[in-house]
Amino acid sequence: MKAASISDFRELARRRLPNIFFEYIDGGSYAEETLRRNVGDLEAIALRQLVMRDTTKLDMSVQTLGQTMNMPVGLSPVGMAGMYARRGETQAARAAAKAGVPFCLSTVSVCSIEEVAATGTPPWFQLYMLKDRGYMRELLARVKAVGSPVLVFTVDLPTPGSRYRDIRSGFTGAGKLEAMMVQAWEGVTHPAWTWDVFVNGRPHTLGSVQAAVTEGKRVNDFLSWIGRNFDRSVTWKDLDWVRETWDGPIVVKGVLDAADARDAVKAGAQGLVVSNHGGRQLDGVKSSISALPRIAQAVGGDLEVYMDGGVRSGLDVLKALALGAKACFVGRPWAWALGAGGQPAIERMLDILRAELAVAMILTGCTDVRDAGRSLLDEG
């Protein structure tokens, strides 16, 4: 099957990936109500079709935090992407650079910050605050040394949400013997993935935090260590601690409330991502798109406002811009594409988003994404 839409990449990834990794990408927390809201609330927004406008020239470029994005789309941080395709984070970084959009590397990436930066375009870096502050200081220094332009401080994961799919698949909660049996079966039944990732994609560690873990070197060992080391005591004052090592732009990711957005401004952040972690943390909260307008109205003049969660098309991107986002970040779409076919599939996914955004702009009479506003929506 040739992928024509984001949902096609999802199906292709489902066919190719071991079930434990597909469910890890695809699932949300608890009953997955917020995961469904993210998608459904975007689908429910109606664009306003306008005709007989000169849309010969379209400008999709956006300037933000000292960078130019060729279109208002970036790749969100996705954990363990190197388990979906061989050295997956490097493939994603190359695809993003080719498209002229930012790629944000997860703290829990298989490839280290140095390996990804060696592709030629240093990524944005997503920071989880861990209890081991000495190691955090070393990590921030490494991120700065490779030239990462933006630090994305993710604040909505003081503790992992309960993800039932991961328990059912055997990815988490299984005993050592059971886990080994599940992994062996997955390898036998997914030979293409086994050859690409398991055989040729080593080492299977979390590269950016590898040096801090002493009690094992498997991915599950790293995840266990990180789970024990998430710092639930973090407050806005900790941004001052981050600033002792990091002097570049800071984007706070995981904001759903206008009061928190105003606190991000007071703490000196240069941007924020309206996000509920893709529906993977606190289930039952509002969708990202429904939270966006109030936050954009409250702080949009003080910092850059981005959004992620539920974006499945270029039409969704335009809807988010109309409601106050500077740009959208996508997570599952590029993870599905990576799992479906590596870098070429991510490039294809980004091309689809660009083409769909162009159609949406033409048929709403919008020639410049920087002019997108609520007038593009049919709110009658």
**Tens digit of each residue's pLDDT (9 = 90 or more) over 194-221:** 999 999 999 988 888 877 766 655 566 6
User: Both tokens of residue 371?
Assistant: 């002019």
Going by C-alpha positions, the residue among 71, 102, 87, 100 that lies closest to residue 251 is: 102
Residue 50 has pLDDT above 90, yes or no: yes
**In sequence order, what E strands does 241-297 have?**
250-255, 271-274
Alpha-carbon distance of 75 to 296, in angstroms, equals 21
Q: Which pLDDT belongs to residue 154?
A: 95
Provide the pLDDT confidence category of residue 329 given band limits of 50, 70 and 90: very high
**Structure confidence by residue, pLDDT tens digits, 117-163:** 999 999 999 999 888 888 889 999 999 999 999 999 999 988 888 89
pLDDT value of residue 206: 84
Contact between residue 326 and residue 278 where contact means Cβ atoms under 8 Å apart: no
- Amino acid identity at 287: S
Q: What is the pLDDT of residue 222?
A: 61
- Examine the residue annotation and report whether 190 is marked as an active-site residue of this protein: no
- Averaged pLDDT of the chain: 93
Residue 226 has pLDDT above 80, yes or no: no
What is the topology classification, in CATH, of domain 6-372? Answer: TIM Barrel (3.20.20)
15-19, 82-86, 111-115, 164-168, range with the lowest pLDDT = 164-168
Q: Please identify which of the residues 163, 165, 277, 319 carries the catalytic annotation.
A: 277
Cα 164 from Cα 176, distance rounded (Å): 19
Q: Which residue has the higher pLDDT, 175 or 370?
A: 370
For the full predicted model, state whether its pTM sits above 0.85: yes
SS (H, E, C) 116-172: HHCCCCCCEEEECCECCHHHHHHHHHHHHHCCCCCEEEECCCCCCCCCHHHHHHCCC
The pLDDT of residue 380 is 77
Given a cut of 90, is residue 182 above it in pLDDT? no
Task: Band the pLDDT of 224: cuts 50, 70, 90.
Answer: low
Mean pLDDT for 69-80 is 97
Does residue 10 carry a pLDDT above 70? Answer: yes
CB atoms inside a 10 Å sphere around CB 351:
11
Residues β-bridged to residue 124: 104
